[in-house]
Amino acid sequence: MVTPRTVATDFTLELWLFSTATSPVGTQAYQGAGLLWSDVGGAANDFVLAALNDRAAFFTGNPDTTVIGTTPINDGRWHHVVATRTMGGTKQLYVDAVLQATGSTNGSPLNAQPQIMIGGNTLDSRYFNGLIDEVAYYGAVLSPAQIQAHFTAGTAPVAAPPPPPAPVPALGAGAQLGLLVAMTALGVLALRLRG
């Protein structure tokens, strides 16, 4: 899937993922299976969020540096992954609301692809083998409290619906006839008392 790239300076990338697959190995996120991909060949102010070494990895270019998380993301559980970039400051990588890696970024706006590819490294045909859900891009760096709130909201138990009303036991034909006779007798008795 391809979406417009709506971020350029300070930004946050957010998604939930689920996988049991082994990811590619390497030292730079562009060597991995793409999660959110806006990379161009050569030196550029671009970015990549990928699955690398069975961890989340976040790359920013010019100079090309990658930070890699510590939590395995291919363990058959849903994981919340957030990457932030402060232009001319730091990049941060969170997994399940825990800050796992920090690096530096340059002071220039992005000049990457005009779109973001979801789920694939389209330059090298390395695609994420798993599920991706609730992708979001923000034109600002979310605070740790906001990231924690998003993680908590995504893991909150769903309230169980109220139980259905108890079924009314069915009456057999004999019981129905007896009930009808009793109701008729009470009706006659009520008429006699009024009259």
pLDDT in tens, 91-123: 999 999 999 999 999 988 888 778 899 998 877
pTM (predicted TM-score): 0.78
User: Do 58 and 83 meet the contact criterion of CB atoms below 8 Å apart?
Assistant: yes
The pLDDT, as a whole number, for residue 183 is 54
Beta bridge partners of 51: 33, 56
pLDDT, tens digit (0-9, with 9 covering 90-100), for 132-175:
999 999 999 999 999 999 999 999 776 666 677 766 555 555 55
The answer to whether 51 and 23 have CB atoms below 8 angstroms apart is yes
Please report how many Cα atoms fall inside a 13 Å half-sphere around the Cα of residue 74, on the Cβ side: 16
pLDDT (0 to 100) of residue 174: 58
CATH assignment of 2-155, among 3.40.1440.10, 1.10.730.10, 2.60.120.200, 3.30.1360.120: 2.60.120.200
3-class DSSP state for residue 38?
strand
